[in-house]
């Protein structure tokens, strides 16, 4: 036996150039509703809205597609935000009392958000009074005076400071202290009591020199900034919560902590006003909660709007989150399901206008944004084109469908419009319309499907930056639940006082957790889909443009196959309704298949051309012919020791015998002497150290430097029978001469089952299906050596390309597969990728990812990467996400590593589990329960905000953001690094990479350097905890980057050193 090594000198420069044209990593946009919002602002001139969060994120929204995102350096909550009207500038206040000025800057034709200046008040402790100077220790409220050049800052000590906004510097000599205010009030009002913190600051629309100041004690003061004196004093005696100045300036309205509000008249007298014109407690007379904010808006048609939050009866409805809208005799109590953060009205702010004429009311809640049309009778809600709460019910699964045909798209949109009709007039349309979307119209439509805990599937338009809701499919109507009784109670309660009106769609509570959607698949050519749930229910649905009333065919499939020794201890199956049922337009169920035992469905796939649906659980997999409504196959995959598979995720039942046995074992252990325990522990420690030393220095196994030793898994592991993936393919399984339908199944124990299917073909020109049934015969059974769970299976044709979807080739929508050359099957497990030839199933190529990188595969997808240099060139590659949050791309079928990037924090387990890839090199994953992060691995296919804003502030001086030289590219709002390696021009073509504020191009190698985002990764912030931190966790976290860098270096050196070809 002789060994020859052929060495390859270095990397291929042509291939490296091609990689740059194919691959580039970008985190592009965050879809959904911001997590934990804490502040709200609106610019009436530019018609843009800003939302701040507790993590320090700032998000600005305009027309659909117009979005800007920024993140404060300090992870402090944003408590207040104020736009400088018409200037594209935003002043933010954090809970550490620091102020930050943000600017929307135009660069290369597109706009982006940058922090320009910041102001940190002195940390000198003190109090406002005669014994010391006023202190700016804690700012409670901010008001932009006039055009926004000056800001008034109210403090906890009762002082009001004035700040020059363009420079963020305090104006000397203009501070208003509480002592000066007290000199303007009568002696009996002082009574030795402090005024308390400044609760509210309001400006006069027509006279910017006047500022209305409200103190916590109840004192109201109109301060003349020009004359430096008090024009008017109102001696309120109730604790103040909020103030509003009527447009003309002749009326004030104040809200208080006892649930009342008072109206004050601003006359020309000089003596202090002691009594309001009117005072009322809307929901009295019993004790009420505080009215936190109040607005007064007048109308030309007569009457005025009074809008306030809170004020509900403390005993009866103290836990409700309500905003009340009062006009004349009409009162509506808007009842929300989450806490109210803030609200504003869209109305006229031009000084020459006599009336406010409010058009819309926008309410920011902790879990959603609700906009109501105030010009339409009944004040209906306005459908939001973005910012929809993805988590209105908790997301349980997601899927992406690319290149949706126009006909199916229009039918889905039509079904959604019948569910929630669009606004009848343009006046009731979405009011936040600022900015211009410069992105090109997407060439293809993409659907994002999300399955939810309440049994619904939501369809989202994921073609562009704005994730727009299209349609909601509900499966709960097929089953008997208790929701009808709850709806009746809610209806009966609506007739009582207060006049509650349920508003918003956030409803995190599910009537039955068994309704939860676990898996789903959609055929975009036949408009059929399958939805599988937690209780083993598998629904086959078909899109219908008209409502109908029909019965649903039902069948059961026993996956245990009468195997003895197994007893299901989990939840019961859902009880379906019988008889004809009414179904609205949209996807309507045709067949219900119930898996027995009713365990959660773990895998599902649909082949509409053969009318077959395959499904798998923790017990086995089944095949069902939904056209003939007959089961084809049921295979049990349970191992004799799979006891956990019989428990079920919702089971709380324990075996009494097992509990008693464990209790006696604990008692026996507790009686062992301490000395014996110590000796046993030390001996066990020595044995463990010896085993580790033996593993670290193996003498009998020769390993390459970049491979780890991987121990095979035991076949007795619990849940080894879980079916992880299912796949249909028309390929060669029996022999190399005849191809036909096949079904593949992969399990948690590394087993792969391949079945040859006999699918009778329908007669030409006849829609009637033949009488013969579908038959399935086991063709191959493969057991992976390490018994690692099988994540995905795909068959490659003679050219090494994945097979097309059903109907793609027969309808000439995709290139027909090569059925002449030899086919191959790609089997991706958690530890390695392996390509086998068909029909012999002999190993052809493999890549041991766990051995090379020390990680495990979590998600896998085949994606097409198009070149930015040549429109006709594209490659099909394998994209995978690991448990460390890294994304790797491999060539197919050669399985050569191309690039890899750090994408998700390895501590973000839910984010990794929720990731879904698209067919064109993009992906989505949850960064919070309500937000998807969108990323792109393709250099050409990038979806990111490209927008501009018409701002009116003077540009004769250099922008303040360019004066802040130490402003690096910050992390995105979720704390994950936002690296833009290839910015795009507004026409979609790639631009040279520019650093912020300069024109110095970065080296193009940055787009391919897998470690190029380490510096940004170090700035990651954890928004949630995943458990107690141990020493091992710290070592693992600190060593992760060093270890991966070492592995990468070894891999590159090994590849450059030689491609070892052994000839024996």
Contact 796, 771 (CB under 8 A): no
Distance in angstroms (rounded) separating the CA atoms of residues 1010 and 1016: 13
Distance in angstroms (rounded) separating the CA atoms of residues 474 and 541: 11
Contact 254, 202 (CB under 8 A): no
pLDDT at residue 1064, rounded to an integer: 31
Chain position carrying tokens 């919560």: 241
- Is the four-CA dihedral 663, 667, 670, 672 of positive or negative sign? negative
State the CB neighbour count (10 A cutoff) for residue 24. Answer: 28
Distance in angstroms (rounded) separating the CA atoms of residues 211 and 214: 10
Which whole-number Å values give the CA distances from 381 to 41, 376, 422, 428, in the listed order?
Answer: 20, 10, 10, 9
State the CB neighbour count (10 A cutoff) for residue 1034. Answer: 10
**DSSP for residue 132:** B
Partner residues linked to 305 by β-bridges: 297, 327
Distance in angstroms (rounded) separating the CA atoms of residues 714 and 639: 11
Q: Which three-class secondary structure state does DSSP give residue 501?
A: strand
Band of residue 342 on the pLDDT scale cut at 50, 70, 90:
very high
* Rounded average pLDDT over 381-385: 92
The pairing of strands 857-866 and 581-583 is unpaired
User: Does pLDDT of 280 surpass 50?
Assistant: yes
Which of 727, 521, 515 shows the shortest CA–CA distance to 621?
Answer: 727
Helices (H), 74-172: none
User: Does pLDDT of 217 surpass 80?
Assistant: yes
Which of 46, 103, 43 shows the shortest CA–CA distance to 950?
Answer: 46
State the CB neighbour count (10 A cutoff) for residue 1032. Answer: 8
Contact 938, 875 (CB under 8 A): no
Distance in angstroms (rounded) separating the CA atoms of residues 49 and 657: 62
**DSSP for residue 313:** B
| Among 636-650, 756-770, 790-804, the range of highest mean pLDDT | 790-804
Q: Which three-class secondary structure state does DSSP give residue 582?
A: strand
Range in 362-371, 868-877, 1044-1053 with the lowest mean pLDDT:
1044-1053
Partner residues linked to 152 by β-bridges: 143, 162
The pairing of strands 330-336 and 500-502 is parallel
pLDDT at residue 979, rounded to an integer: 31
Contact 31, 925 (CB under 8 A): no
Dump pLDDT digits (tens) for 721-766.
Answer: 999 999 999 999 988 889 999 999 999 999 999 999 999 876 434 4
Which of 48, 49, 45 shows the shortest CA–CA distance to 348?
Answer: 45
pLDDT at residue 1001, rounded to an integer: 36
Range in 105-109, 227-231, 673-677, 931-935 with the lowest mean pLDDT:
673-677
Contact 627, 611 (CB under 8 A): yes
Distance in angstroms (rounded) separating the CA atoms of residues 346 and 359: 6
pLDDT at residue 563, rounded to an integer: 80
Distance in angstroms (rounded) separating the CA atoms of residues 1005 and 1002: 8
| Contact partners, residue 944, CB within 8 Å, separation at least 6 | 26, 28, 29, 439, 465, 980, 984
Partner residues linked to 494 by β-bridges: none
Band of residue 1040 on the pLDDT scale cut at 50, 70, 90:
very low
pLDDT at residue 811, rounded to an integer: 81
User: Does pLDDT of 677 surpass 50?
Assistant: no
User: Does pLDDT of 283 surpass 60?
Assistant: yes
Distance in angstroms (rounded) separating the CA atoms of residues 1039 and 1033: 10
Furthest-apart CA atoms within the chain: distance in Å: 111
Partner residues linked to 828 by β-bridges: 792, 833
More confident residue, 338 or 148: 338
pLDDT at residue 123, rounded to an integer: 58
- Is the four-CA dihedral 1009, 1012, 1013, 1014 of positive or negative sign? positive
Dump pLDDT digits (tens) for 710-730.
Answer: 666 665 556 889 999 999 999
More confident residue, 175 or 343: 343
Range in 244-258, 433-447, 765-779 with the lowest mean pLDDT:
765-779
- Is the four-CA dihedral 722, 728, 731, 733 of positive or negative sign? positive
Dump pLDDT digits (tens) for 796-809.
Answer: 999 999 999 988 88
Contact 363, 323 (CB under 8 A): yes
The distance from CA 761 to its chain's CA centroid, rounded to whole angstroms, is 44
* Rounded average pLDDT over 869-888: 95
| Contact partners, residue 269, CB within 8 Å, separation at least 6 | none
Chain position carrying tokens 């194919």: 22
Q: Kindly state the percentage of the chain with pLDDT values over 90.
A: 60
* Rounded average pLDDT over 32-50: 96
pLDDT at residue 131, rounded to an integer: 42
pLDDT at residue 1020, rounded to an integer: 33
pLDDT at residue 33, rounded to an integer: 96
Long-range contacts of 217-224 (CB under 8 A, 24+ apart): 217/193, 218/254, 218/256, 219/181, 219/185, 219/189, 219/195, 220/252, 220/254, 220/264, 221/181, 221/184, 222/266, 223/160, 223/176
State the CB neighbour count (10 A cutoff) for residue 17. Answer: 13
Distance in angstroms (rounded) separating the CA atoms of residues 832 and 890: 12
Please list, residue by residue across 602-622, b when 16 or more beta carbons sit within 10 angstroms of its beta carbon and e when fewer do.
Answer: bbbbbbbbbbbbbbbbbbbbb
The DSSP code sequence of 447-493 is EEEEEETTSEEEEEE-SSSS-EEEEEEE-GGGB--SHHHHHHHHHHH
Q: Kindly state the percentage of the chain with pLDDT values over 70.
A: 77
Contact 293, 343 (CB under 8 A): yes
User: Does pLDDT of 336 surpass 70?
Assistant: yes
Enclosing H/E stretch for 529:
strand 528-533
- 55 φ/ψ angles, rounded to the nearest 5 degrees: -90, 5
Q: Which three-class secondary structure state does DSSP give residue 64?
A: coil
Which of 354, 363, 362, 360 shows the shortest CA–CA distance to 376?
Answer: 360
Which of 67, 115, 66, 68 shows the shortest CA–CA distance to 94?
Answer: 115
Question: What pTM was computed for the model?
Answer: 0.83
Please list, residue by residue across 294-304, b when 16 or more beta carbons sit within 10 angstroms of its beta carbon and e when fewer do.
Answer: bbbbbbeeeeb
Contact 25, 918 (CB under 8 A): no
Range in 213-222, 744-753, 838-847, 959-968 with the lowest mean pLDDT:
959-968
Dump pLDDT digits (tens) for 606-616.
Answer: 999 999 999 99
Mean pLDDT across the chain = 82
Which of 197, 288, 203, 206 shows the shortest CA–CA distance to 243?
Answer: 203
Contact 633, 625 (CB under 8 A): no
CA dihedral 126, 129, 133, 134 (to 10 degrees): 70
Instruction: Estimate the share of the chain in helix, then strand, then coil, as percent rounded to the nearest 5.
Output: 15, 40, 50
More confident residue, 196 or 1007: 196
Dump pLDDT digits (tens) for 991-1018.
Answer: 333 333 333 333 333 333 333 333 333 3
Contact 611, 625 (CB under 8 A): yes
Partner residues linked to 322 by β-bridges: 335
Chain position carrying tokens 């109308």: 299
């Amino acid at each position: 036996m002789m060994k020859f090594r052929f060495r390859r000198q270095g990397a291929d420069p042509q291939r490296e150039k091609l990689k740059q044209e194919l691959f580039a990593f970008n985190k592009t946009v965050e879809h959904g509703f911001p997590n934990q919002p804490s502040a709200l602002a609106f610019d009436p001139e530019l018609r843009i809205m800003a939302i701040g969060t507790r993590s320090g994120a700032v998000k600005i929204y305009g027309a659909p597609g117009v979005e800007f995102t920024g993140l404060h350096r300090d992870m402090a909550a944003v408590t207040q935000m104020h736009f400088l009207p018409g200037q594209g500038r935003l002043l933010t206040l954090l809970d550490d009392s620091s102020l930050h000025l943000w600017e929307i800057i135009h660069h290369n034709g597109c706009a982006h958000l940058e922090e320009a200046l910041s102001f940190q008040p002195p940390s000198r402790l003190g109090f406002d009074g005669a014994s010391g100077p006023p202190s700016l220790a804690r700012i409670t409220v901010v008001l932009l005076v006039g055009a926004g050049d000056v800001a008034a800052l109210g403090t906890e000590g009762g002082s009001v400071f004035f700040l020059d906004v363009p420079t963020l510097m305090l104006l000397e000599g203009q501070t208003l202290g509480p002592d000066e205010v007290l000199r303007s009030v009568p002696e009996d009002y002082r009574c030795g009591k402090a005024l308390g913190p400044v609760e509210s600051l309001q400006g006069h629309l027509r006279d910017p020199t006047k500022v209305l100041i409200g103190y916590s004690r109840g004192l109201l003061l109109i301060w003349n900034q020009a004359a430096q004196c008090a024009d008017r004093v109102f001696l309120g005696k109730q604790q103040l919560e909020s103030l509003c100045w009527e447009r003309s300036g002749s009326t004030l309205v104040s809200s208080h902590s006892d649930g009342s509000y008072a109206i004050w008249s601003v006359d020309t007298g000089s003596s202090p006003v002691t009594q309001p014109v009117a005072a009322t407690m809307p929901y009295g007379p019993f004790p009420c909660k505080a009215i936190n904010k109040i607005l007064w808006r007048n109308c030309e048609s007569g009457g005025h709007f009074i809008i306030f939050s809170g004020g509900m009866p403390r005993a009866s409805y103290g836990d409700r989150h309500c905003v009340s809208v009062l006009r004349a005799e009409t009162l509506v109590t808007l009842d929300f399901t989450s806490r109210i953060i803030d609200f504003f009205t869209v109305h006229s702010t031009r000084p020459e206008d006599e009336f406010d004429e409010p058009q819309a009311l926008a309410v920011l809640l902790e879990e959603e944004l609700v906009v109501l049309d105030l010009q339409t009778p009944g004040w209906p809600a306005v459908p939001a084109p973005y910012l929809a709460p993805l988590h209105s019910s908790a997301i349980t699964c997601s899927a992406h469908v690319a290149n949706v045909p126009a006909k199916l798209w229009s039918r889905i949109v039509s079904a959604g419009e019948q569910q929630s009709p669009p606004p009848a007039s343009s006046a009731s349309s979405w009011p936040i319309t600022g900015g211009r979307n410069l992105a090109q119209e997407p060439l293809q439509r993409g659907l994002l499907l999300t399955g939810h805990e309440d049994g619904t599937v939501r369809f989202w338009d994921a073609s562009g930056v704005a994730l727009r809701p299209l349609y909601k499919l509900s499966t709960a109507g097929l089953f008997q639940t208790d929701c009808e009784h709850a709806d009746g109670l809610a209806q009966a309660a609506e007739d009582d006082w207060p006049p509650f009106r349920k508003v918003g769609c956030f409803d995190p509570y599910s009537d039955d957790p068994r309704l939860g959607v676990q898996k789903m698949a959609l055929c975009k050519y036949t408009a059929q889909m399958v939805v599988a749930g937690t209780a083993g229910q598998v629904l086959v649905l078909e899109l219908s443009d008209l409502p109908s009333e029909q019965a649903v065919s039902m069948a059961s499939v026993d996956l245990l196959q009468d195997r003895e020794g197994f007893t299901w201890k989990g939840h019961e199956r859902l009880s379906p309704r019988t008889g004809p049922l009414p179904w609205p337009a949209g996807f309507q169920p045709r067949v219900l298949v119930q898996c027995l035992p009713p365990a959660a469905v773990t895998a599902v796939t649909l082949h509409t051309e053969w009318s077959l649906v395959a499904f798998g659980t923790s017990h086995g997999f089944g095949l069902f012919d939904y056209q003939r409504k007959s089961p084809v196959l049921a295979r049990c995959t349970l191992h004799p020791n799979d006891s956990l598979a019989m428990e079920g995720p919702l089971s709380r039942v324990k075996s009494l015998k097992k509990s008693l046995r464990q209790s006696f074992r604990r008692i026996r252990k507790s009686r062992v002497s301490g000395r014996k325990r110590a000796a046993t522990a030390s001996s066990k420690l020595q044995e463990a150290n010896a085993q580790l030393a033996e593993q670290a220095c193996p003498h009998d196994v020769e390993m390459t430097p970049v491979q780890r030793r991987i121990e095979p898994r035991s076949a007795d592991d619990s849940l080894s029978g879980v079916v992880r993936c299912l796949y249909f393919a028309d390929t060669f399984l029996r022999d190399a001469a005849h191809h036909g339908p096949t079904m593949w199944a992969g399990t948690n124990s590394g087993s792969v089952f391949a079945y040859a299917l006999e699918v009778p073909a329908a007669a030409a020109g006849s829609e009637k299906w033949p009488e013969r049934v579908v038959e399935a015969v086991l063709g191959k059974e493969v057991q992976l050596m390490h018994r690692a769970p099988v994540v995905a299976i795909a068959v490659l044709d003679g050219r090494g390309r994945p097979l097309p979807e059903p109907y793609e080739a027969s309808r000439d929508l995709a290139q027909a597969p090569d059925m002449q050359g030899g086919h191959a099957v790609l089997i991706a497990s958690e530890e390695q990728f392996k390509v086998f030839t068909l029909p012999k199933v002999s190993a052809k190529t493999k890549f041991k990812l766990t051995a090379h990188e020390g990680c495990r595969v979590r998600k896998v997808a085949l994606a097409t990467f198009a070149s930015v240099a040549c429109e006709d060139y594209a490659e099909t590659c394998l994209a995978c996400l690991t448990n460390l949050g890294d994304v790797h791309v491999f060539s197919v079928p050669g399985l050569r590593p191309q690039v890899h990037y750090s994408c998700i924090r390895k501590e973000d387990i839910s984010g990794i589990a929720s990731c879904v890839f698209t067919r064109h090199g993009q992906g989505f994953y949850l960064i919070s329960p309500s937000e998807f992060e969108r990323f792109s691995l393709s250099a050409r296919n990038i979806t990111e905000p490209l927008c501009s804003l018409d701002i009116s502030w003077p540009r004769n001086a250099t922008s303040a953001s360019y004066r802040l030289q130490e402003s690096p590219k910050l992390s995105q709002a979720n704390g994950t690094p936002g690296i833009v390696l290839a910015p795009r021009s507004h026409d979609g073509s790639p631009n040279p990479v520019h650093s912020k504020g300069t024109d110095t191009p970065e080296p193009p190698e940055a787009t391919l350097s897998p470690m190029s985002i380490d510096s940004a990764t170090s700035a990651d912030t954890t928004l949630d905890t995943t458990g107690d931190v141990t020493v091992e966790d710290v070592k693992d976290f600190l060593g992760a980057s060093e270890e991966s860098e070492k592995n990468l270096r070894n891999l590159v050196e090994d590849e450059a050193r030689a491609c070892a070809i052994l000839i024996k």
